[in-house]
Amino acid sequence: METPNYDLELALRARGYLRIAGVDEVGRGPLAGPVVAAAVVLNPDDIPEGLNDSKKLTPGRRDALERILQDRAEVSVAQASVAEIDRHNILRASHLAMERAVAALDPAPDFLLIDGNMIPRGLGLPSQAVVKGDSRSVSIAAASIAAKIWRDRVMVDLAQQHPGYGWETNAGYPSKQHREALQNLGVTPHHRRSFKPVHNILYQE
């Protein structure tokens, strides 16, 4: 199994880029809640062990690594709202979240390693898109962990306001419980109306 390393960052450092941020987002697929992005600048002399794609880590390991990152790295997390997802589209909204996370890093990074195959248009910094980046770069893996933990906490909070949808466990993804609750309890203000399962319930014949 491929595990992320620091090779991409070392190659960039050899070219003179010293403040390198990994950038990743979480939450494109859910029917509810914001899309969240994180930007993380690791200390090359103090990289936490065990960084990996957040989806490949147990919840306990994710939590532990997120706490370590808060202590030993520079972490910035930002979101785009459900309204922005519906107004633009999920891709553009995820890019807005990435742009906001990067903009909140101070001082600004020299270079960005971005998970995926597209570079958000509003970044204005030297950047490289890295397909499956959270399995290749520890900086991107760190960002995936920070974004996942932050978004899961948001969804737990929203679950307390809107019980029955199972957001505390499904994080807004279309699980069986969530889909049934949509039918039985209806659409909340936190549902993405532009997503077909929600749209279809709102505009049933």
What are the tens digits of pLDDT across the range 69-116?
999 999 999 999 999 999 999 999 999 999 999 999 999 999 999 999
Averaged pLDDT, 18-45: 98
Instruction: Give a yes or no: residue 113 inside a domain.
Output: yes
- Residue 180 in any domain: the answer is no
Confidence (pTM): 0.96
Residue 205 has what pLDDT?
Answer: 45
Q: Report if residue 20 sits inside a domain.
A: yes
107 belongs to a structural domain: yes
The arrangement of strands across the sheet holding 73-80 comes to 73-80, 35-42, 20-26, 111-115, 127-130
Domain count, the chain: 1
> What dihedral angle (degrees, nearest 10) is formed by the CA atoms of 145, 119, 117, 127?
-80
Q: Could you count the other beta carbons within 10 Å of the beta carbon of residue 70?
A: 12
How many C-beta atoms surround the C-beta of residue 199 within 10 A?
A: 15
Report the chain's C-alpha Rg in angstroms: 17
Which CATH number goes with the domain that contains 102?
A: 3.30.420.10
Q: What is the mean pLDDT of residues 7-18?
A: 98
Annotated binding site for a divalent metal cation: 24-25, 115
Question: What is the domain range of residue 69?
Answer: 7-152
| Residue numbers belonging to the annotated binding site | 24-25, 115
